[in-house]
Amino acid sequence: MKAVILDNDSLGEGVDLSPIENQVNEFICHSLTSPEQVDERIKDADIVITNKVVLNEDSLKQAKELKLVCVLATGMNNIDLKAAEKLGIPVKNVEAYGTPSVVQHTLMMMLSLATKMPVMQKRMAAGDWQKSPLFTLLNPPTYQLEGKHLVIVGSGELGQAVKKQAEALGMRVTFTARPGKTDDSRPSFDELLPEADVISFHCPLTEETKGLLNRNNIQHCPPHTLVINNARGGVAHEEDVLDALRKGQIGGYATDVLPQEPPKDGHPLLDALNEPLNLIVTPHNAWTSPEARQRIIELTAENINGFK
């Protein structure tokens, strides 16, 4: 059985691929694959392994030997799933591989926003502490998380793990109803906004969650609300959130995701990083601990073994 991985570089250095190699007779590893190279590289493969390389209907049809697609991630939006189903090609993803890593990143963002770290670091770089008549800088004041209300969108493994850590900080936690689900008895996202001190997104990007936080409902947030998006770009309408942050309608925004990655055409949030805002943008690296990346390989090997 021949397996081909199309974008091994997306896993970074130091990852041991032997768990996958041990499951197949032949293993070909490509660092990166352009759209023009896809068809040639998968044409005689039994198993195709990809992280972000797109497999469309035409490519899937031309891969006559293809029996299994393995995605090195949870999201499978780069695979034409309808075409794969029609062709009888199962698609397997990996889940819960980076929960500790993403939870750690979420807490880092929450604590950094609460302590106004982005603004304070700019003040420090500008020499404001040296010029202060006091022994400290009191502006902007920090925000104590104990006793505050965290609203989480997404009650899966990630959301549950964030809840546990937030409760250890003394926070009260509420999960919203699943957006678009009328049979969910939990309060809706919009209903919880007026009492949300912190909002954290851990949900997929769907028609129901796209632009879930936007200019129409941001006005119902308390002006101190801190917003964290470690889900998918577009769950929060970034331009609306940035406008609200500039106007003081929310207290801070942190995101690890943007609608286009990498943002080769730029993005307003990146441009705003030089402004004195309580704003954090990280390069979709919440999942990138060595432990999480190795777990992806182990789970992919299990998917292959289970298929055989």
CA distance 189 to 179: 7
**Which residue stretches of the chain have pLDDT < 50?**
none
> Of 116, 118, 46, 54, which is closest to residue 83 (Cα–Cα)?
54
232 included as an active-site residue: yes
Residue 77 confidence (pLDDT): 85
Active-site option among 41, 105, 178, 232: 232
178 included as an active-site residue: no
The CATH class for the domain spanning 2-94+289-307 reads alpha beta
Looking at the chain, which residues constitute the CATH 3.40.50.720 domain(s)?
2-94+289-307, 99-281
Residues near 220 by beta carbon (within 8 Å), at least 6 away in sequence: 190, 193, 194
267 included as an active-site residue: no
CA distance 235 to 213: 7
Residue 180 confidence (pLDDT): 87
Residue 182 confidence (pLDDT): 86
Residue 201 confidence (pLDDT): 98
Residue 308 confidence (pLDDT): 73
Residue 114 confidence (pLDDT): 98
Annotate 16-48 with b (16+ C-beta within 10 A) or e (fewer). ebebbeebbeebeebeebeeeebbebbeebbbb
CA distance 295 to 186: 33
Identity of residue 13: E
Residue 74 confidence (pLDDT): 87
The CATH class for the domain spanning 99-281 reads alpha beta
Active-site option among 220, 224, 284, 302: 284
Active-site option among 65, 191, 208, 261: 261
